[in-house]
Amino acid sequence: MNPLKAASVLIIFALLAFALPTTASAEGAVYSFNIWAGVGGPLDEDDLGLSNSSFQLGFTVQPEDQLLVGLRVGELDLSGGLVGDSIDTSLDYATVVGEYRFTESFYESGLYIGLGVYSLDGLRLVSGSYSEESVGLVLGMSGEFILSDRVGFLLEISGHATNLDTVDTVAMGHAGLAIHF
């Protein structure tokens, strides 16, 4: 995804989130920006595997004590092999998720579900550039280890189901940081 486009989406989401009423506890953070790096790949393309690099940005608002609503935008680099009959391929996505968190002594774990928009772009060996878009569903598990009042270390595993012609299911794992305010 174009970094300028991703930043624009995050800014719009952040502005909308500030308008939401919140009832989160006074001691907990209400908003956070997140940045992740990870690996993943399509489950229906045997030659690509799950070791393709991924980058993801996110913004989260906490309208209730254990409930989070978030936006994630990211890119999965699939240029290491053929995707269908395309090379130099990437999967860009933007998802809106709802997450329920379970609080433990020094970390929080969560389950989330959401809807996404997915774009697969590449270069066909015969006919030139290739692009297709689809809506999809994302399911995931997350964990946040509290480093300080404002910073947390994030882990997540997600599965994405799309209606793209060449990629139907994608699995990803990410690690990153959350900055709370």
Q: Over the stretch 18-62, which tens digit does the pLDDT of each residue have?
A: 555 544 445 555 899 999 999 999 988 766 788 899 999 999 999
Position 74 confidence tier, pLDDT thresholds 50, 70, 90: very high
The pair of structure tokens assigned to 59 is 């913004």
Closest-CA residue to 93 (of 116, 112, 123, 60):
116
Domains of the chain: total: 1
Name the strand (E) or helix (H) holding 50: none
The CATH number of the domain holding residue 115 is: 2.40.160.20
- Domain enclosing residue 100, as ranges: 3-180
pTM: 0.83
Chain segment 90-133, per-residue pLDDT in tens:
999 999 999 999 988 889 999 999 999 999 998 887 888 889 99
The letter for the amino acid at 73 is V
Phi, psi of 3 (to 5 degrees): -60, -35
Return mean pLDDT, the chain: 85
pLDDT of residue 79: 86
How many beta carbons lie within 10 A of that of residue 109, not counting itself?
Answer: 14
pLDDT of residue 171: 96
Using the predicted structure, report yes or no on whether residue 14 has a pLDDT greater than 70.
no
